[in-house]
Amino acid sequence: MAGAKAQQNEVTATETISPIDNSEKGIRLKANSLFLPIGIVNVAGEFQVDKKITIQGDVFISPWKSFSGHELQYYSASVEGRYYFKQAFNGFYLGANIAASQFTLQKWNYWNDDIYINEKKESFIKSDLYQKGHSILLGITAGYQFRLSDKWSMDIYGTVGSSQDFYKGYERGTGKRYEDATGYNKSSEILPYRGGVMIAYKIR
């Protein structure tokens, strides 16, 4: 009877020991299928932190000195924390994003031939003007990720947030600054600044 009691105590002690979790955290490598056909690269890596939490880092590279007649050189990097309502890499999620960018581009409101007049009363055609500078962006992401197969999945997402822009404006051809500021112009906007359809490959 003493032997049976000792055996029972041994089983009880064994049962109270927490099992070691040997499961690997998931990793996904991604490319944005919306931009690749037009020569713009947007790639990312998403890394699992917890059952429902991931961290994603991505880069966006648009090398176009001219795209349909508009400057579109835009380089950015961002880091995002994501919370999935089901589990990591599956279903709806919300994220907090921070990004930094450098650009030489023509803002959308300059895509016309209206006249821009600066404080010195100098006149410029808006379609001849472009901007060069950098931005700091903070935003909120919403998205949905689902499996296509054992190794492949699709991630549909969009980010809206605040863009703090620091830039100088130039006239195309002459390189002359069209505004009167001696340093950087500063602007703040609320706008969508990320989005697309990422095709993801499961590393583990």
Q: Tell me the pTM.
A: 0.81
pLDDT, tens digit (0-9, with 9 covering 90-100), for 79-137: 999 999 999 999 999 999 999 999 999 988 899 999 999 888 899 999 999 999 999 99
d(CA 3, CA 54): 50
- The per-residue pLDDT for range 21-57, each reduced to its tens digit, is 335 789 999 999 999 999 999 999 999 999 999 999 9
Contacts of 178 (CB under 8 A, 6+ apart): 116, 118, 122, 124, 129, 169, 170, 171
Q: What is the dihedral of CA 125, 126, 132, 134, to 10 degrees?
A: 160
Say what the pLDDT of residue 13 is. Answer: 41
Which pLDDT does position 108 carry in this prediction? Answer: 85
Domain annotation for the chain: domains and CATH numbers: 25-115+133-165+189-202 (2.40.160.20)
Query: Looking at residue 19, what is its pLDDT?
Result: 38
Contact 64, 72 (CB under 8 A): yes
Residue 174: exposed, middle, or buried by beta-carbon count in 10 A (0-12, 13-18, 19+)?
exposed
User: What are the distances in angstroms from CA 78 to CA 39, 145, 153?
Assistant: 20, 19, 21
